[in-house]
Structure 1
């Protein structure tokens, strides 16, 4: 028999993947480097492992949602990421879809959560 908590955690992991993308995009209207992004997201209640974040940032850059630049003025060089114009349009569209989805889910499961 399956463990309820284990099953819930697996499903939550799937749900979190998409929400992390929206969370990351939401914080990159101004340039940030990876570790600062981990910190900001954590402060806002979204824990993201750096091992998850950095491949995601590279993928979003490859999809042209983000641009990056190196700052070598500090003792430790940092790669900064920021939304592109295309990324901003995609982010806005994702927010619209998220709001519609959450409204639908609220209608389906009700305010009490099931």
Structure 2
């Protein structure tokens, strides 16, 4: 059961991680700062998940990246593109609609007394 639950939980989180990452890229963030911001909100993401996700978002033209070499350690910063911001707004609306619908369904499960 735990293996199945872990698999289903991972599947459920996969799409929400994209939305979570996009929500934090209105201002430039590098990988580690992004991990910290997400963790502060209770969302854990491994770097092995984050960096491929950022590369995919960049390939989809939702984010752009640039290197900051002014510090002793160069960092790659990511930020939403204009297109990415438009997509983020639409995804956010879809998430709010879907989560509200799901909340109503799940609340109904609690209220009807059946398991």
Q: Aligning the two structures, in what range does the TM-score lie when normalised by the shorter sequence?
A: over 0.9
The runs of at least 4 consecutive aligned structure 1 residues that moved more than 3 Å come to: 111-114
Q: CA separation in 2, counterparts of 1:68 and 1:49? A: 20
Show CA shifts across 1:1-21 (max 9, x none): xx2x32221111001110100
1:44 CA drift (Å): 0.6
Q: CA separation in 1, counterparts of 2:7 and 2:85? A: 30
1:42 aligns with one of 36, 39, 43? 39
1:105 aligns with one of 94, 102, 107? 102
Give the alignment's TM-score, normalised by structure 1: 0.92
Q: Structure 2: where are the runs of 5+ without partners? A: none
Show CA shifts across 1:23-82 (max 9, x none): 000000000000100111011111000010001001000000001000000000000000
Output the aligned Cα RMSD.
1.5
1:17 aligns with one of 10, 14, 19? 14
1:96 aligns with one of 87, 93, 98? 93
Give the alignment's TM-score, normalised by structure 2: 0.91
Q: Structure 1: where are the runs of 5+ without partners? A: none
Q: CA separation in 2, counterparts of 1:109 and 1:42? A: 26
> For this pair of structures, how many residues does the alignment match?
111
